[in-house]
Structure 1
């Protein structure tokens, strides 16, 4: 299924999704496997935004640990730091009271994950997307440029990670594949539900420190 067709189906699904019963999440990591009914039941409405409204995902279809929530946090990072735990599939925004806002994320598949320290170099609203040279080499048929919108793989918002003044080419961004949250399927970037990346975008400033942790083993997140 093309990205454009996916977006069209998602929009068609919005007025129908409120009538869908809550059912357990099914394994669906490839949008080509998604039927119109599969897509429809993920969406329950929209969040007003400019220039596009954000399709709102039914978080009842996500595992509980992937739903945005405030948790106790025992790390040493200062408030305002973004901590990405690749192994647990979580992103933490550290607060100043021993807690963090925890978001479920999708991460890079094996061989694409990155770790290290960075900062939010800039922020984008409904950003444009272009594949890296590595992506093009692996998939030559990828479009070379996609304008911001519902069919864009970066979703509604993006945080661009920089090392000093150098763009690392890694991003924290939205996704139009909500079933991929909690899985390792991306080309290395950190993907979030559009409604979650909107929340994160509103909370952090350019310059915020980012720490990406990865051991290569699936472990319990460092929250209590």
Structure 2
């Protein structure tokens, strides 16, 4: 037993070298052997701060500037050690970095204030004739030495140890929209040159995010970089709390390819809404604005923007100025509805290729815990979901019967089991909705409903028209066309709350 205790008290460095955890120099020796160990940096930083505190106490009692200089030197060493520790990913160091910044500023203000008080007292003493000589000597000493000391003090006080959030660079688009649970993060936009280098793009994204962080360090921040062609080039995202900044650098692809893909997607979303309206009513809407009516006729929250001009206005004739072209007709037969919708709903941009149309549908795989949005043989989105425990999520062919914003709006978001968006299924005991338990995603934990992370539910809600078909199977066969498209251009869909889509007359009790 004694040997076991002894063994547990030793840290092996895997090179035949052991350090006793009872050694008073344990952390110093560990950092010598492992120069990049973040916890060793952190612990040595705290030890350095304790030494610095002793020198500050000596300075306060003696007013000997030598102790002040030693205090400042050790505090700088302390900050650098703990800051490096946090940059290495040691999260407990984060609060220490912030605390040290405040402590150093407060200490310097007190030191400067004390020096001013001392000078004032000396000035009063100068009125006493008996101390004239001492005062003159004091003035000479101040002229010779004090400016340098004050300069050192002010330099130290004005050295802003701005809190630097660590970041990682990822060379791809995020697979899903990034947002902490229950929060809609509106992106801030920066414009970069089309030929911007990767390094410069990273620096500009991080710099803007850190500027915003200094103004608001409590809420999540998203910065999106676009170039002169309005093509997204990258994104910096901080989810708040102890999270690092993630900088996504989008892989190079031609502007034409990006916009063409987005044009197909947004056109398909709008056409699908018109198609579902036609199926429900037997005729097309006279105006596309009819698709954005208040609950319960809210097929879409808003018409999507076209990716070329970023407009969603509707024109009756082709002008190429952006938005959508809608040529209403009531002259059609039941057999021609797909081709009719393809002809009457088109983007109002300069684009001469035919855009194919297959109505959107949703396929949910119980085996893989995924929800996929499909158009023909192509997957537009794929999300991870939580499903019902004990196989309580029903299987079969259903459809979206209601789209509801804030279905339980008076419950705080961190306690709200439905999140901020819900789409009730044709079996009204069940719904697709957000969650207050993001860790449940990918598991069988609900009473039968389909849960998504709130940010992804916002996206799904924005692109899915009312009455969209939903197929739930154990192991469905998914299309083998394009892979799931990366997160869409932030301008294309409206994701903010719309009070007109709230149901103020109902209380929902889905099998959450």
TM-score (norm 2): 0.25
Call closer, same or farther: CA 1:122–1:100 in 2, change over 3 Å: same
Give the structure with the larger strand fraction: 1
Give 1:98 shift.
2.2
Q: CA deviation at 1:43?
A: 4.3
Cα distance in 2 for partners of 1:153, 1:45 equals: 11
Contact kept? 1:88, 1:220, Cα under 8 Å? no
Residues 47-76 of structure 1: CA distance to partner in whole angstroms, max 9, x if unpaired?
Answer: 258xxx999996x9xxxxxxxxxxxxxxxx
| Contact 2:418–2:435, Cα closer than 8 Å, also in 1 | yes
Map 1:1-224 onto structure 2 (within 5 A).
43=180, 46-48=183-185, 79-96=359-376, 98-128=378-408, 147-150=410-413, 151-163=415-427, 167=428, 169-214=429-474, 222=478, 224=480
Residue 345 of structure 2 is matched in structure 1 by: none
- Alpha carbons of structure 1 residues 43 and 201: separation in structure 2 relative to 1, 3 Å: closer
Structure 1 consecutive aligned stretches of length 4 or more whose deviation exceeds 3 Å:
18-22, 42-46, 53-58, 146-149, 219-224
For 2:430 and 2:438, locate their aligned partners in 1 and report how far apart those are by CA, in whole Å.
Answer: 19
Displacement, 1:113? 2.2
Q: Could you tell me how far 1:19 is from its partner in structure 2?
A: 5.9
More helix by share: 2
Indicate how the Cα distance of structure 1 residues 44 and 121 shifts in structure 2: closer, same or farther if over 3 A, else same.
closer
Q: How much is the aligned-residue C-alpha RMSD, in angstroms?
A: 3.9
Instruction: Count residues with an aligned counterpart.
Output: 145
Matched-pair contact (CA < 8 Å) for 1:126–1:148: no
Contact 1:126 1:149 in 2 (8 A): no
In the TM superposition, what whole-angstrom CA distance separates every residue of 1:168-197 from its partner, at most 9, and x where no partner exists?
Answer: x11000011111111111111000000001
Deviation at 1:205, TM superposition (A): 1.1
Distance 1:44 1:158, change over 3 A: closer
Instruction: Answer with 1 or 2: which has the greater Rg.
Output: 2
Is there any run of 5+ residues in structure 1 with no aligned partner, and where? 1-15, 23-41, 61-77, 129-145
Specify every segment of 5 or more residues in structure 2 that has no aligned partner in the other structure, as ranges.
Answer: 1-94, 96-163, 169-178, 187-218, 222-236, 244-357, 481-512
